[in-house]
């Protein structure tokens, strides 16, 4: 998800939080919103550590 565009990240996180809400019904709406925020921050790291596709292909050659 790190290289997905923002719209894809938000949709994926929504689906994930919906699943968590169904799986763990004791979670409150506030807790689910907090999980969503944490997950979205994880998808957008401050430092980009993942190599680009071009760098990966060059290293493999």
Number of other residues whose CB lies within 10 A of the CB of residue 7: 8
Dump pLDDT digits (tens) for 34-52: 999 998 888 776 666 656 6
Tokens 């190599």 found at: 51
Closest CA to 14 of 41, 26, 27, 32: 32
Confidence check: pLDDT of 1 > 90: no
- How does the average pLDDT of the chain come out, rounded? 81
pLDDT at 28: 97
* Mean pLDDT, residues 24-39: 95
pLDDT at 56: 54
Confidence check: pLDDT of 55 > 80: no
Integer distance in angstroms from the first to the last C-alpha of the chain? 25
**Across the chain, how many H-helices and E-strands are there?**
3, 0
Q: 42 or 26, which is more confident?
A: 26
């Amino acid at each position: 998800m790190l290289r997905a565009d923002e719209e894809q990240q938000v949709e994926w996180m929504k689906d994930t939080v919906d699943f968590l809400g169904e799986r763990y019904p004791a979670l409150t709406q506030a807790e689910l919103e907090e999980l969503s925020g944490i997950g979205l921050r994880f998808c957008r790291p401050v430092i980009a550590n993942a190599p680009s596709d071009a760098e990966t292909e060059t290293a493999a050659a």
